[in-house]
Structure 1
Amino acid sequence: MSTSTLDPELLRAFVAVAEHLSFTRSAERLNRTQAAVSLQVRRLEERLGVALFRRSTGRVEITAAGEDFLIDARRILTLNEQAIARLSNQKVIGRIRIGVMEDYGTKILPRLLADMAERFPFVQIEMEIGLTARFLKRLGSSFDAVIAMHPEGATEGELICREKAVWVAAADYTVEDINPLPMALSNPDCLFRAWALEALSEAGRLWRLAYVSSSLAAVEAIVRQGLAVTVVKGSMLSHGLRNVDPGQCLPPLPSAEIRLHRSKTLSPSAALAINHLVLRLHSMALGS
């Protein structure tokens, strides 16, 4: 086999291991044996002439070369899947139900769902936005796929991108100087709410819950009026809001990961459409 070509199956094995940092979990995702996945990764490393992973007992770490190659591998798979989708979209029929957090569901997914609707005209796409911690309990029954937020280092699902939790306030008000700090937050199941209150408590910063809503848009509207501070994803900073630098008057916050979870009972048509969605999400994360 020519060293100038890269087998997509080897790339899929590599990407799976890079996202899960586990040959066992990658094998489950790809429906292969662990030995088969390990062999495919070794073949890819031999073809490239570099080590993509550092392996030790019970631990897998991606190398610097592996991190760099992950970008190219995802791009190649994206082009491959898009070509297949264009040729086979007339054959894909059925319904896909997707659960996603509000900011992604209102700011990112609509563009991608429009693209999916064009490529798969006979697929009925349904989307529900809300707290994904609750959606994950309904994966397989109510949802075919859930795009959820997790603490950094999670292993469940397929990694889409990493997000930084940031404090935000109104662009024209220094609300962060008020004591106790007025907070506008989502319901208790929200990961950012838990992180914000834990960070404030550990820093000894007094706070009060000024506003609570399950709607992120409503929370941001209150913050935009200079009535409170909240926490959002760094990539989702809306007009009229500003990032409050941590360390001066507010404590630092952890990072999060956005991961896609698939139902174990996806139909072939749904799996093809979800694959296309995942690859488009990766493309957006890479800035393409």
Structure 2
Amino acid sequence: MTLPMLDPDLLRAFLAVADHRSFTRAANRLNRTQSAVSMQIRRLEMRVAAELFRRNTTTVELTVAGESLVTYARRILALNEEAVGKLREHRLEGRVRLGVMDDYGSHVLPAVLARFLALYPRIHVEMETGLTGPMLSRIGESYELVIAMHGEGCESGELLRFERPIWAGSAEHRAWLLDPLPVALYPPGCLFRKWAIEGLDAAERPWRLAFVSHNLATVEAIATQGLAVTVVKSSFLPRSLRGLSPRDRLPALPGAEIRLHVAPDPTRAGIMLADHLREAFAAMPDEPAVNL
């Protein structure tokens, strides 16, 4: 047997009467005549085959069936509004400029953006990877969103994820035994470069800057060939490298936080992407343990 459908317009009329306990006040709220509201209630009662109100000359009270329907009516209308809102959002158009670190831009964001653009195909996302320090100084001007790395305890932006920086060297070579230690790092402005140099100097470990590159793949390739050691996030440690520890005469490194920065006056498209990023990062598993 096919059950009758509950018309949202009838449910709105029902809730107006239930909330105001008056057909007259409900009609005023809905900008309809009292007779029109009464007709809607009668149609709804016919559909559910139950009396919803007890009426006399002075009061309007919900029946037991009416009391039961109130909760369902609110849920149905809320879901209806949510569905319509989502469908309208799918037609949302706009352009969002996103800045992010190279490793997250290579390993994390492609899949996240693919899911976002499947939901909002009319939004154009322009992603730039690189050092995020300079990007943060231009947020609101050149970037609407920036995902940046900070030291632990930073209060700027919104925390998305914790990361553990580690030293890494070739799985087949032992560059960390060389003296002075050859290191492959990123240009000035990179936190990994700053932490690596400060740690080595504090440990009084002789070192030399053997390679510098903006490109993550280049730095990892240099380390893979045993030409230098480098610093990576433990969650992105490639198979070609092994994690190193103080047992390898390398200093401990500070913890890191991945934070989302949003321009002061984001567009609707920017707000939608920021929400999607928050949800995506919340669903990410914790970083895998690396045996050092």
Residues 248-259 of structure 1: matches in 2 within 5 Å? 248-259=248-259
Query: Which residue does 2:265 correspond to in 1?
Result: 265
RMSD between superposed Cα atoms in Å:
1.8
**Shift in alpha-carbon separation, 1:179–1:140, aligned structure 2, 3 A:** same
User: 2: CA distance between counterparts of 1:283 and 1:158?
Assistant: 16
CA drift of 1:270 comes to 2.1
User: 1: CA distance between counterparts of 2:178 and 2:83?
Assistant: 55
Deviation track 1:120-172 (CA, whole Å, cap 9, x = no partner) reads 11100110001000110110011110000000000000001111110000111
SS in structure 1 at match of 2:209: strand
Q: Is the 8 A contact 2:97 2:127 kept in 1?
A: yes
CA drift of 1:85 comes to 8.0
Q: Is the 8 A contact 1:85 1:119 kept in 2?
A: no
Which TM-score applies when normalising by structure 2? 0.67
Letter in 2 for 1:131: L
CA drift of 1:247 comes to 4.1
CA drift of 1:87 comes to 3.9
User: 1: CA distance between counterparts of 2:256 and 2:212?
Assistant: 22
Which TM-score applies when normalising by structure 1? 0.68
CA drift of 1:268 comes to 2.2
* Structure 1 unaligned spans of 5+: 1-81
Query: Which residue does 2:218 correspond to in 1?
Result: 218
CA drift of 1:245 comes to 2.0
**Shift in alpha-carbon separation, 1:84–1:273, aligned structure 2, 3 A:** farther
Q: Is the 8 A contact 2:96 2:269 kept in 1?
A: no
Q: May I ask how many residue pairs the two structures share in their alignment?
A: 206
Q: Is the 8 A contact 2:168 2:241 kept in 1?
A: yes
Query: Which residue does 1:117 correspond to in 2?
Result: 117
User: 2: CA distance between counterparts of 1:182 and 1:254?
Assistant: 21
Point out 4+ residue stretches in structure 1 off by more than 6 angstroms. Answer: 82-85
User: 2: CA distance between counterparts of 1:247 and 1:85?
Assistant: 57
* Structure 2 unaligned spans of 5+: 1-81, 288-292
Residues 85-164 of structure 1: matches in 2 within 5 Å? 86-164=86-164
CA drift of 1:86 comes to 4.9
Letter in 2 for 1:216: L
Moved more, 84-93 or 161-170: 84-93
CA drift of 1:286 comes to 5.3
CA drift of 1:239 comes to 2.4
**Shift in alpha-carbon separation, 1:83–1:279, aligned structure 2, 3 A:** farther
User: 2: CA distance between counterparts of 1:252 and 1:240?
Assistant: 21
Which structure has the larger Rg over C-alpha atoms? 2
Moved more, 137-146 or 272-281: 272-281
Letter in 1 for 2:98: I
CA drift of 1:265 comes to 1.2
**Shift in alpha-carbon separation, 1:179–1:102, aligned structure 2, 3 A:** same
**Shift in alpha-carbon separation, 1:83–1:153, aligned structure 2, 3 A:** farther
Q: Is the 8 A contact 1:85 1:276 kept in 2?
A: no
Query: Which residue does 1:177 correspond to in 2?
Result: 177
CA drift of 1:285 comes to 4.3
CA drift of 1:273 comes to 2.4
CA drift of 1:89 comes to 3.3
User: 2: CA distance between counterparts of 1:86 and 1:286?
Assistant: 30
Query: Which residue does 1:30 correspond to in 2?
Result: none
User: 2: CA distance between counterparts of 1:281 and 1:86?
Assistant: 21
Letter in 2 for 1:237: L
Deviation track 1:21-80 (CA, whole Å, cap 9, x = no partner) reads xxxxxxxxxxxxxxxxxxxxxxxxxxxxxxxxxxxxxxxxxxxxxxxxxxxxxxxxxxxx
Verify: 1:282 aligned to 2:278, yes or no: no
Query: Which residue does 2:18 correspond to in 1?
Result: none
Identity in percent: 46
**Shift in alpha-carbon separation, 1:110–1:229, aligned structure 2, 3 A:** same
Larger relative contact order (C-alpha < 8 A, sep ≥ 6)? 1
Query: Which residue does 1:207 correspond to in 2?
Result: 207
Q: Is the 8 A contact 1:144 1:266 kept in 2?
A: yes
Deviation track 1:96-132 (CA, whole Å, cap 9, x = no partner) reads 1100000000110000010011011110011000100
SS in structure 2 at match of 1:117: helix
Moved more, 217-226 or 263-272: 263-272
CA drift of 1:189 comes to 0.6
